[in-house]
Amino acid sequence: MLIVVTIIATVISVSFPALTAGLAGIRLRSASGSVASFLTSAMNNVERHEHAAAILVEPGQNVLAVFTAASGDEPSETLKMPQGIAIEGEENRRFLLFPGGAFPHITIALRNEKGARKTIEIDPITAVPKIQ
């Protein structure tokens, strides 16, 4: 019984770092998809409701927020990054979206605690997100 427990403990201790690295990668891919969906949703709402909006990227707070005239000082939508995922950058950035106009070139870089990085880029012509 003691030998079986020792073998199981050894297998777990060897595989644990690989398992946590895999989970960090999954979290990063999931967060990248969430950011792309969030940005697409904001652009679709601008076009559908024909009202301007501002997307605020706050790296210090790890948050993306959408402000509209109707929402005032409070964001109409927010997206908080999950534990272990950080938005790269030092300063807050604001992107203005206008109905019927071209969307700005938006690039947001995310990284996880292991140092892996994903970039979400919105093509200003097609408004399609690209995750790299």
What pLDDT score was predicted for residue 88?
A: 93
Question: pTM of the full predicted structure?
Answer: 0.82
Rounded distance between C-alpha atoms, residue 12 and residue 66, angstroms: 44
Domain boundaries, the chain: 2-131
Domain 2-131: top CATH class: alpha beta
pLDDT digits (tens, 9 = 90+) for 115-127: 899 999 998 888 8
How distant, in Å, are the alpha carbons of 2, 12, 14, 16, 17 from that of 6? 6, 10, 12, 15, 18
Of 115, 8, 107, 21, the residue nearest 59 (C-alpha) = 107
pLDDT at 20: 67
- What's the pLDDT score for residue 19? 66
Extract the residue ranges of the chain whose pLDDT is less than 50: none
Output the CA torsion sign for 44, 35, 103, 92: positive
- Cβ–Cβ < 8 Å for 63, 79: yes
Q: Give the span between the Cα atoms of 87 and 80, in whole angstroms.
A: 10
